[in-house]
Structure 1
Amino acid sequence: MLKMKDQSSEPEVTSKLVDEMIHSILFLGKIKNKPLCPKDIFDGVDDDNNHHLKEKYPNPFKFYSSQLPRRSPFSCMLDMIVHLKQQNDENGIKDELAEIISKLKDETRKHDKELSSTVLCVSHVNNTDSVKYYGVSMSTSGKKSGRIMIAASCLSFYWDEYVAGAVMTFYPDLMKKPYFDGTFNLSRDATCRAYNIKNKSEMKPCKSCSNLFGFQETDPKVWPYGNCAEVESLSKLFKNDDQVKQQSRPQSDTFTPDNIEKVKDETRKKLKEILNMTKFEKWSGEFYDPSVELTCREG
């Protein structure tokens, strides 16, 4: 990420991605069963970068013990690659991701699943000029960290409200809530396809994504709701195309403002319970924002 940052003509954009990724990594290290401190995590970074890391990016080190990340680290990596490539250079983005995954596996050996995603999703409107929007599967290790990150992505507004509502319909277990249904059928005017990052082969959506978004011809596997790459990809599409978003609006009578607030409160309550289980007991209620200056945070 540090090397890619310097390739951009917009350093303010890439610096924020590095900043956000560092915070997410530090947070995930802290909530491990055997917690890792920053020194443990960044001990392998080359001396020049390691020496200046905390000096250049002080906020992640200050707030990883009190604020939650909005997303997993590899999501930041994805945005960096999309930023450096052309938005619609799907093949170039796939090639770059595959190369990075290969390098991570070589470098981390036994821990090759730690922090890296396995699936990429591409969503777009069905016309030749449409912009493509990318998402990756949740890059966490362990059930608790996954549940924390899924709830954080829902509650921090990183995920679009409709997508977050669909996920919270089932969160944190695989059971649908009796009082709320935020699931929807993706508009026929849009396409959403997933690919294995390593070999770039297309993958069928899992049963969970079928339940969330109305996909057909799915794989019978059920993953934790919110874990899949489709969630992030569709969120970006909806945030940038209101017409497709409104065409996909949840249709259940239970999708009401009151029930939306109720499911958010229940998700936040469950999130706090899981955080307490990981000994992360100092959450300020805030989500980390790399665009906010340190003086503003303290004010």
Structure 2
Amino acid sequence: MAERNDYQPEDIDCFFFQYQSQCEEQQCRFLHRDSCKLSADVCLVWHKQKKCTNSDCPQKHLNQETLRRHFLCDQENSNGNCKRENCHMYHEQVSYINGCYRSANEVPMLPEERRIECNTFMEKNYFRTQTSLKSAMQFIMISVKFIQHAVGNKKLSRERGNKYIKEILHTVLFLCHISDPSFEPRDIFEESMESWSNKFPDVFEQYKTHLPTRPPYTILLEIVVDLEQTNSAESILNCLSKLNEKMIVEQNSQEGRRCGNVFSYVSSVVSYCFHHNLATKQKTDNYFGVSVSCFGRHQRELMIDILCYRTWNEDISLAVCMASETTNAHHQQAIQFHPVVVSNAYQMMSNSRAQRRMPIVNGKRQRVTPIPPCRKCLFMFPAIEYNQQQQNNSTVFWPYGNCAEVESLSRLLNAHGYICKRTPAPPTERLTLEFLKHKRRGRIIHNLKLFNFNFGNNILFYTPDDLQNAV
């Protein structure tokens, strides 16, 4: 039998079956194998011989050459860019569609090629990588120490403290897993890895299969608010600022102007809001929120999608989702508040350079400084009384839902839902909460595939009670 000089379809894994969960072709010429779905490596035998006889081979029978030849998007092949929102073909170019980035598809590689590429990346990005790892470890250690101190002082029960620790660990490990480059727990904990995994085995088993429900700093905020047992905003702000100081990972001189905490989990903005009933003259408690802080833009957008879909108050989720769907400022106002809701936001120092910019009052440098809302918050919640001490931010680079005001308002509505009413959507648009949340779910699934995240037919969310909550 003559030796094959090229890959044949019957020896190539189907791209749609491997990366899109299913193939719609009734008589597909390509292989449909479950054994290699979780692999990112190319089979060496298949690579050398153009064929592999092991039907249960755990590695891909697919590479860039076969992807380009059989599965490349026709629009990308002809125009260099695909603008179809739900295109399932193979893409090598990053696209910007309807306000969202679509990353290029993953390409399987030979293990040796992956090792060389990884080493090259680590060498070129050594200081960035080290800052990321230090930030992760610093956040975990300071947060755990803070929780353990509260348990020791009987301010927090041991059971609740362990739940907080598990949730923080899971969220940080998840974000490291979907980072670029991806980090393993051993990269963060090093010699103490076994101790951590033995104490919290479910965390280390589920950070690759279960999604978090909120960012790590939001968990820390909840602990601080619970422990302070006070409605004094100053007390909460001071406690958070002190924690931020301890979590600073300073920039390396070889990183130039790069901020040391640019890859950290530390939120730099905190907000609180309350409702003041003009008729009864009564005021609610203060409800706090912090800005979403994650590795990278795509990770932050994924976390905001999770918050909209799973965590935030439904009225707030509707407001954020609707604002993201339309450029019409009038249509962005999905909800209205009964008067008067007051919101105040503050910038917390996040590194030594930020500390030096803080104002000096009565001879003391302030830990926090009031800041106005961004224009996106003004679009979504125009009737709120904001802190207007400074000029509104006219240049916004973060997505809807990133701001601390969103989380604080969500907490307010969870406690006092009666102060909010929804504004009817235009009849020509399908901007219902159900439709928008379904769309967010689709984007979560799409982005998880890009991050090579392992999940089945359902999205699973991690809970520190070991409950598998699927939707």
Instruction: Provide TM-score, normalisation by structure 1.
Output: 0.85
Q: Is residue 2:377 matched to residue 1:209? A: yes
Percent of paired sites with the same residue: 26
Q: Is residue 2:409 matched to residue 1:267? A: no
Decide whether the 8 Å contact of 2:462 with 2:469 is kept in 1: no
The residue that corresponds to 2:221 in the other structure is 78
Distance 1:39-1:175 versus aligned 2 partners, 3 A rule:
farther
Whichever residue aligns with residue 213 of structure 1, its letter is: F
The residue that corresponds to 1:5 in the other structure is 147
**3-state SS, counterpart of residue 193 of structure 1:** strand
Distance 1:38-1:168 versus aligned 2 partners, 3 A rule:
same
Distance 1:129-1:186 versus aligned 2 partners, 3 A rule:
closer
Query: What are the ranges of 5 or more consecutive residues in structure 2 without an aligned counterpart?
Result: 1-142, 253-258, 350-366
The residue that corresponds to 1:183 in the other structure is 334
1:181 is displaced (CA, Å) by: 5.6
Which of the residues 164, 168, 171 maps onto 1:21? 168
Q: Is residue 2:271 matched to residue 1:121? A: yes
Decide whether the 8 Å contact of 1:4 with 1:80 is kept in 2: no
The residue that corresponds to 1:139 in the other structure is 293
Q: Counting helix residues as a fraction of each chain, which structure ranks higher?
A: 1
Distance 1:42-1:89 versus aligned 2 partners, 3 A rule:
farther
Whichever residue aligns with residue 421 of structure 2, its letter is: R
The residue that corresponds to 1:251 in the other structure is 423
Q: Distance in 1 between matches of 2:247 and 2:381?
A: 32
Decide whether the 8 Å contact of 2:461 with 2:469 is kept in 1: no
Runs of at least 4 residues off by over 6 Å: 255-258
Whichever residue aligns with residue 249 of structure 1, its letter is: K
Query: RMSD between aligned alpha carbons?
Result: 2.8
Q: Distance in 1 between matches of 2:437 and 2:378?
A: 22
Decide whether the 8 Å contact of 2:305 with 2:440 is kept in 1: yes
Structure with max Cα Rg? 2
1:107 is displaced (CA, Å) by: 6.3
Segment drifting more, 254-263 vs 65-74: 254-263
Q: Distance in 1 between matches of 2:327 and 2:247?
A: 36
Superposed CA deviations along residues 158-215 of structure 1, whole A, max 9, x for unmatched, are: 10000011111144xx74499x866223332221111112231111000111111115
Query: What are the ranges of 5 or more consecutive residues in structure 1 without an aligned counterpart?
Result: none
Whichever residue aligns with residue 275 of structure 1, its letter is: L
Q: Distance in 2 between matches of 1:120 and 1:72?
A: 14
Superposed CA deviations along residues 70-102 of structure 1, whole A, max 9, x for unmatched, are: 111111111111122124132121111111111
1:249 is displaced (CA, Å) by: 1.6
1:288 is displaced (CA, Å) by: 1.6
Aligned residues: 285
After superposition, residues 51-200 of structure 1 pair within 5 angstroms as: 51-106=194-249, 111-113=260-262, 114-126=264-276, 130-156=284-310, 158-171=311-324, 175-176=326-327, 183-198=334-349, 199-200=367-368
Decide whether the 8 Å contact of 2:321 with 2:436 is kept in 1: yes
Q: Distance in 2 between matches of 1:36 and 1:133?
A: 34
1:51 is displaced (CA, Å) by: 4.9
Decide whether the 8 Å contact of 2:273 with 2:342 is kept in 1: yes
Whichever residue aligns with residue 267 of structure 2, its letter is: S
